[in-house]
Amino acid sequence: MDSVAHGRPRIVVLASGQGTNFQAIIDASESGRLCGEVVGLISDNPDATALRRAKGHGIPRVVVERKSYRSKREFDLGLAEAVKRFSPDLVVLAGFMRLLGKGFLDEFPEKVINIHPSLLPAFRGLDAQKQALEYGVRYTGCTVHFVDEGTDTGPIIGQRVVPVMPDDTEDTLRARILVEEHALMIECINAVLAGKIRRNGRKVIIYGG
């Protein structure tokens, strides 16, 4: 990654809501468990709790609202410009609720990753926990993947399995998955920033332990 030789790699996080994964990333960075530094938060939602989390830790924050742009493409380009100002080595989607288009992704090739609360390719999109419960699976989990233009369709970096209990509700299942999301996200960010990732088509290889 570009900034490794000049200090800790730079991470920009995109979040739309509560920002619990964002908080986990901040905590890992401040405790030394993450090899990168969070240099900015960008949200499409001016009321996102994630913005208050960023303020509490002195992290610069920017709001880029979709309604400020005439088209999705213009929004993607505006979002990309906001991210580029932070010169990131990695862009992390942590509960960012919008699909990113080619205009954004072309600016950060192989530098955008996302966390999703299912074992992809199962239960893509919204309400993954509800989908898992309705389908009746015995196991679900979480996935960190590179972002492409599809809905949770990018190459998979890492996954963790979570059992589904007979009496689970969406809330109880979400809470158990979230614990694994926090750990997996840190693990995968470290692997990417340390240069331990190689891609061969859709196959992602992590090496070096």
pLDDT over 80 at 148, yes or no: yes
Residue 209: the pLDDT is 55
Mean pLDDT calculated for residue range 184-202: 94
Average pLDDT, the chain: 94
State residue 4's pLDDT score.
Answer: 45
| Angstrom distance (rounded) from CA 190 to CA 207 | 12
Please answer whether residues 117 and 181 qualify as being in contact, where contact means their C-beta atoms are separated by less than 8 angstroms.
Answer: yes
- What is the average per-residue pLDDT within 79-99? 97
Give me the half-sphere count of Cα atoms (radius 13 Å) on the Cβ side of residue 21.
32
Total domains in the fold of the chain: 1
Tell me, what DSSP letter sits at residue 66? G
Which pLDDT score, from 0 to 100, does residue 208 have?
72
Q: Which of 6, 57, 116, 182 is catalytic?
A: 116
Share above pLDDT 90 across residues of the chain, in percent, rounded to a whole number: 94
116 is catalytic: yes
Q: How far apart are CA 161 and CA 159, in angstroms?
A: 7
Note the pTM of the prediction, 2 decimals: 0.93
Domain of 65? 4-206
Q: How far apart are CA 204 and CA 201, in angstroms?
A: 8
* Whether residue 2 has pLDDT greater than 50: no
pLDDT band at 5 (very low <50, low <70, confident <90, very high): very low
Provide the CATH number for the domain around residue 156. 3.40.50.170
